[in-house]
Structures are given as structure tokens and as C-alpha cells.
Amino acid sequence: MSYAIDVRNLTKKIKNNAIVDHINIRVQRGKIYGFLGPNGSGKTTTMRMLCGLLSSDDGEGHCLGFDFKKESDKIKSQVGYMTQKFSFWEDLTIRENLEFTVKMFQKDNIEKRVRKSLEKAGLTSRAEQLAGTLSGGWKQRLALTACLIHEPKLLLLDEPTAGVDPKARKAFWEDIRNFADSGFTVLVSTHYTDEAERCDKIIYIAYGSIMAEGTVSEIMCGFSSMEDSFIYYTDNSLRNKL
Amino acid sequence: MILSFAKILAILKKEFIQLKRDRATAAMVIFIPLIQLLLFGYAINNDPKHLNTVVLSEDNSIFSRNFVVGLKNSEYFHVAGEIKSDAEGRKLLQKGDVQFVVTIPGNFSRDLIRRRVPSVLIEADAADPVTAAGAVGAAREILTSALARDLSGVLSFLRNDNLLPANVIIHKLYNPEGFTNYNVIPGLIGALLTLMGIMVTALSLTRERERGTMENMLAMPVKPMEVMLGKIIPHIIIGYIQAAIIVAAAKFLFTIPLAGSSFLLAIAMMMFIICNLALGLAVSTIAKNQMQSLQIAMFIFLPSLMLSGFMFPFYGMPSWAQMIGSCFPMTYFVRITRGIMLKGSNFSEMWQNFWALLLFMCIVTGIAAKLYKKTLD
């Protein structure tokens, strides 16, 4: 079985305090992995290290077959990373943002690619609107479209549906399910337990360590709901630390 | 390292679109030079001291020697040495190494004894008129008191209470009418390019960091050098537009001559603009937010303004201030613009300043490239 992400002992320290403490992550190709954990548990830091946005203090391994420490440029060109906070240029229009992204990834047929993406996302009528004037749901739509425009093999989504209405969330999950079904991989962090249940596998992280890992049914085993398991793992980890 | 021209061009285009939509900044680019120009068009008064002077003495007598000693003892002049010819003096003035050349004619003592009222000639670099204006008064005072001591005893018959025994004639070079704005406006180009260059680049990068768009950009496969070039090139163009506004205003509003080569001026501007943009980049890597980068930019801008020779004559400042002043590229740029615009100096007369600018450009760009972070750490 091939892994899209296969990293061992991944560590990030800030002033001797381990934010991420020797974690091992293996993500199978073509699956959606849910990344769960309380605020400040190290989800964002882990994702940033995987795509070369942050340096790591320890660990080795591969991401899409490239050494995640040395070949971050090659990884970047095949990863779509969606930041927690909307991070496209608010003073550019939707079209300008997409065009800029395509150019940065050095893809050809810029115009055609942008047009297709706009159509697929239902953004064509708003193409000339400034990104800053969009509502939360449309911003998220733009961000996902931009993340997919260079045809990445791996999506790293950092709390992509925070502050988005249920209808838009549903559409969003359909999109990433389609993406995974065509053989690509998704690692998505979330606080919503209903979203976690849509994932193929779940990784629980708290206090910089992985608490549990497995399919939804494995994780839920012995708990009446996803919420209960979530609270249990979070508390348990706190006990271990103390 | 192979840079992608297409990526640089894409960043460049994005910067221009953003600038176009940011009306306040776009207006600032045009109006700040104009407003500053009008404000600074008027003199900033000061009291210069220890100005570099060389003496050409063709008369070796007790009178002329005492006059030179008087000059040396004065606070106003700093006698850097004696020269042998007129041409040598001109050259030093042209290069800006000295402000004054004092010539004592060969017949000085003979005419003095014969009561023919001889004259001492002072050639002044009047590009800075304030400096030149004080020189006449100071020299006359020194000459009179030096002669008063010598014309005693048997020579006291030469003294005349109503008439001075000798005269001081001043030749104001480069700016005979003594317009202060002659001197201020070429320097103003330096001041503006420093302010806008450092501030605008530093802000445009810290803004990306503050808004989170930098995270997005870093997640794209783009090299730091490509981002830096894409960010810098638009501001080089803006810098040139601003400089063109000032030069045009100088010519048509204040009728300041552009005596030297405008091509040489354009090259100096390019080097100076890059210096400041790289400084701005370096600032942006240190500053945590836009407010901080603004403060650091001011921290560099104010001493540049004060100590570069723009506000006060450089050689009139105490030596510690001159030393600090030498650390700012603006010091050299101001000399170059004044040299080219007012004196018509050529490259061979100013190569040291060009060399200093080049050195600054390389060092600052190197530091900026080194400090520029590829990651979010």
C-alpha cells in the first residue's frame, strides 16, 4: 500500500516547548483523513510542516514520495494547502486571484483553466468581484477552487468549514469526496464531529501527541457518540501529561 | 538558481493591480513629492562651522601668513591645506571636497604697504548658500584683526580708522544668486526616495504577513528571490516616477539647471532606489506588523535626513555625526544629485560616491536576501 504522507518523529519546538512531539503520520492515497483535536493541539503546525511552510526540529519521511525536509519545493507544487484564515488577496477579484495562483504553479492554458474552475465552482457570475467583498461561504468556495486549480495530488485543509453554513458545508464535502474518489488524498482538520464521521480515517491529536487513530467505527467503539470519544481522548491525554 | 520570469511577472502584475486599487497609496506616491517640494523649497537656517578650506598663497609675507593663521584659528574655517594652483582649487571645489578656496594674490603685501587696499579672493561653493554667505563676513573679520596686530609700531601709519587696509572679495560658484532651494531640491530627491522606498516596500511585505496572504504565497512553489524581485520592480518604477516629478518641478517651478548628464543621474537613482528597497525588505523581515515596520523605517529615515548633508552642511557637522552620516546611502546620493544638477560634475569627479552607493547596494541586498524567510518560523 502506498502512502501519500509517511512521516516519523515529526517535532516542532518553540523555546524548548514541544508544540508537536514526535508524532508519526501515515496517510493512505485516495482517502480522506480527519485531523481532530482541541485548539492548540498542533494540527496547524503539523500541516504547515508537511508542506514546508514551517521548519521541523526533528523527524524524517516522505510526502508524495519527496523528502519533506529537503524537497519542499516539489511537494508544494503538488499540494493544495487551504489556510485556516482566508488568505487570498482581498483587493484582487476572484478571477485575478485564480490567475495569479495558476501562474505561481506554472500551469499552462491559464485562461481555460481559470474558466473551467470558475464554472465548476459556480463562481463565473462573480468572477469580477473583489474577493474581500465576498461572504464567508463564497470565500471558502474561492479558497477551495484556488487550492484545486493546479490539480494537486494532496489536499491539506485547515479547518476549511469554520463559519460556513450547512448547505455550503455539504457541497464542500461532496467536492472533496469526489476529489478522493479520483485517487487523490485529503488531510482535513475539523472541530465538527459530523464532518469527522464522513472521513475514512481519523487521527486524534492533543498536546502535540497522537492520542488515537483509526476508522470512524474503531474510534467510536465504546462511546455513545463522536463527541464523547473526542472529550475522552482529550481528557485522557491531559491525565497522561500530568 | 533558475528564476522564473513568468512568476516574477505575475507578482509584478498583482502588485500593480493592488496599488491601483489602493487609492490612498497611489495618491501618496504623486502628492508627497509635490508637497515636500513646496515645503522644503524654503531655507532651513543653520550655523555651520569648521568648513573645509584650502589656501592658495602667492604672497609669502608676515601679513599673509598671519591671515592664514587667523583662518586656522577661526571656528568657521577649517584649513585643510595649501595648494599650488588655481586649477587644483577648482577641482577640489567641483568634487565637493572643500567649500572654500582662499587666494592671496602675489602683490598683497606690496599693495598693502602702498595703501592700495589689496584684496583676498574667496571662491565659495555656493550650492549651499547659507554656508557661503557667512564666509565673507567671517573672512573680513579675520583679515582685519590679523592686520590690526601687524600694522602697529612703525607700520601704524598704514592704519586708517575709516578704511580697511585690505578687502575680501567672494566669488560664489555654482549658485551665484544664492537660492537656497537650489541646494535643497536636489537633496530632496534623496530624502523622498529614502522615505518612500523603505516605507512602501516594508509595508507591502508586512501587510502580506499581517493579512495572512504571505502564508498562501509561501505555500506556492515560488523562490524567495522571485518574490523579492516581483515586489521590488514595481517600486523601482514608482521611485523613478517620483524622481521625475521632482526633477521636472525643479526645472520648471524653481528653474534649477540640470547642469550634468541626466543619464548619470538616472543610474545613480537606480542604485539608490535599489539600496532603499532592499533596506525596506530587510526592515519587513524584522518588523512584526505594519506599525513596527513604519517605526523602523522612520528610525532609518530621520538620521538620513539630518546627517546626510541634506539639512546641514556635511563637513560642518561634528566628526561623530559625520561618521554616522557616512553610514547612510543618502549621504552619497545627495552629493551626486547636487554635483550633477548644480555643478555639472561628471563620473570621474564623483566616482567615490558611486562606489559607496554600489557597495551599499550589494551589502544591503545581500542582507535582505539572507534575512528573507522562506518559512513562517
**Residue A45: half-sphere exposure toward Cβ, Cα within 13 Å:** 25
What is the 8-class DSSP label of residue B289? S
Q: How far is CA B97 from the centre of its chain?
A: 13
B121-to-B14, B54, B139, B169 alpha-carbon distances in Å: 60, 12, 10, 5
| B8 within some domain | no
| A86 within some domain | no
| A73 within some domain | yes
Instruction: For residue A101, name the pLDDT band (cuts at 50, 70, 90).
Output: very high
B311-to-B78, B128, B187, B297, B304 alpha-carbon distances in Å: 20, 10, 9, 19, 10
Question: B3: distance to nearest CA of chain A, Å?
Answer: 12
Together in a domain, B143 and B205? no
| A114 within some domain | no
pLDDT of A108 higher than 80: yes
**Residue B137: half-sphere exposure toward Cβ, Cα within 13 Å:** 7
Contacts of A87 in chain B (CB under 8 A): 211-213, 215-216
Nearest-angstrom CA–CA distance, A54 and A24: 17
Together in a domain, B142 and B194? no
Nearest-angstrom CA–CA distance, B198 and B283: 8
Indicate the residue of A77, A79, A106 with minimum beta-carbon distance to B6: A106
Using the CB atoms, write b or e for B166-201: b if 16+ within 10 Å: bebebebbbbeebbbbbbbbbbbbbbbbbbbbbbbb
Helix axis angle for B329-338 and B290-307, nearest 10°, is 50
Together in a domain, B123 and B193? no
Q: Give residue B130's pLDDT.
A: 67
| B17 within some domain | no
Interacting residues of A93 by C-beta distance below 8 A, sequence separation 6+: A127, A128, A129, A130, A131
Together in a domain, B255 and B106? no
Together in a domain, B209 and B117? no
**Do the chains contact at B220 and A104, CB–CB below 8 Å?**
yes
Q: Give residue B163's pLDDT.
A: 63
Contacts of A140 in chain B (CB under 8 A): none
Which run of H or E residues covers position A156?
strand A154-158
**Do the chains contact at B376 and A53, CB–CB below 8 Å?**
yes
B138-to-B61, B122, B132 alpha-carbon distances in Å: 22, 11, 10
* Range of the structural domain that residue B103 is part of: 51-173
| A84 within some domain | no
- Residue B245: phi and psi, rounded to 5, are -60, -45
Q: How far is CA A221 from the centre of its chain?
A: 26
The amino acid at residue A223 is F
**Do the chains contact at A101 and B220, CB–CB below 8 Å?**
yes
Q: What is the largest CA-CA distance in chain B?
A: 92
| A130 within some domain | no
Together in a domain, B203 and B307? yes
- Residue B252: burial class (beta carbons within 10 Å; 0-12, 13-18, 19+): exposed
- Do residues B36 and B193 touch, judged by C-beta distance below 8 A? no
Using the CB atoms, write b or e for B311-331: b if 16+ within 10 Å: bbbbbbbeeeeeebbeebbbb
Indicate the residue of B17, B21, B221 with minimum beta-carbon distance to A76: B221
What is the 8-class DSSP label of residue A205? E
Domain total in chain B: 2
Q: Give residue B43's pLDDT.
A: 45
Nearest-angstrom CA–CA distance, A151 and A105: 10
Q: Give residue A237's pLDDT.
A: 61
Together in a domain, B361 and B220? yes
Residue B87, domain CATH: 3.40.1710.10
Grid coordinates in use for B181? Answer: 532651494
Together in a domain, B237 and B309? yes
| B263 within some domain | yes
Spell out the alpha helix ranges (H) of B178-318. 180-211, 213-218, 224-252, 262-286, 290-307
| B267 within some domain | yes
Together in a domain, B216 and B314? yes
| B11 within some domain | no
| A39 within some domain | yes
Q: Examine the fold and report which residue of B173, B197, B224 is the final residue of a domain before the chain moves on.
A: B173
User: A178-218 pLDDT, tens per residue?
Assistant: 999 999 999 999 988 888 889 999 999 988 888 888 998 88
The neighbouring-strand residues paired with A63 are: A5, A66
Residue A201, domain CATH: 3.40.50.300
| A167 within some domain | yes
- Is B212 part of the contact surface with chain A (CB cutoff 8 Å)? yes
- Is A45 part of the contact surface with chain B (CB cutoff 8 Å)? no
Together in a domain, B84 and B190? no
| A227 within some domain | yes
Indicate the residue of B211, B222, B377 with minimum beta-carbon distance to A104: B222
Q: Examine the fold and report which residue of B145, B173, B201 is the final residue of a domain before the chain moves on.
A: B173
| B376 within some domain | no
Q: Examine the fold and report which residue of B151, B173, B195 is the final residue of a domain before the chain moves on.
A: B173
User: A13-65 pLDDT, tens per residue?
Assistant: 988 888 899 999 999 999 999 999 888 888 999 999 998 889 999 999 999 99
Nearest-angstrom CA–CA distance, B278 and B228: 9
Domain total in chain A: 1
Question: B22: distance to nearest CA of chain A, Å?
Answer: 8
Nearest-angstrom CA–CA distance, B285 and B293: 9
Q: pLDDT (tens digit, 0 to 9) for every residue of chain B, 377 residues total?
A: 678 889 999 999 999 998 888 888 778 777 877 777 777 665 444 456 778 889 988 888 888 888 888 888 887 888 888 888 888 888 888 888 888 888 888 888 888 888 788 888 888 887 776 677 777 778 888 888 887 777 776 666 666 655 677 778 877 777 666 666 677 788 888 988 898 889 888 888 899 988 989 899 989 998 888 888 898 899 899 888 888 888 888 788 777 778 888 899 999 999 999 999 999 999 998 888 888 888 998 888 888 988 898 887 788 788 888 899 999 999 999 999 989 988 888 888 889 999 999 999 999 999 988 888 777 77
Contacts of B17 in chain A (CB under 8 A): 91-92, 96
Question: B370: distance to nearest CA of chain A, Å?
Answer: 16
Together in a domain, B165 and B187? no
Q: Give residue A241's pLDDT.
A: 58
Alpha-carbon torsion (A99, A103, A109, A113), positive or negative: negative
Beta strand A201-206 pairing with A209-214: antiparallel
Together in a domain, B129 and B191? no
Contacts of B216 in chain A (CB under 8 A): 83, 87-88
- Do residues B87 and B111 touch, judged by C-beta distance below 8 A? no
**Do the chains contact at B375 and A104, CB–CB below 8 Å?**
no
Q: How far is CA B200 from the centre of its chain?
A: 22
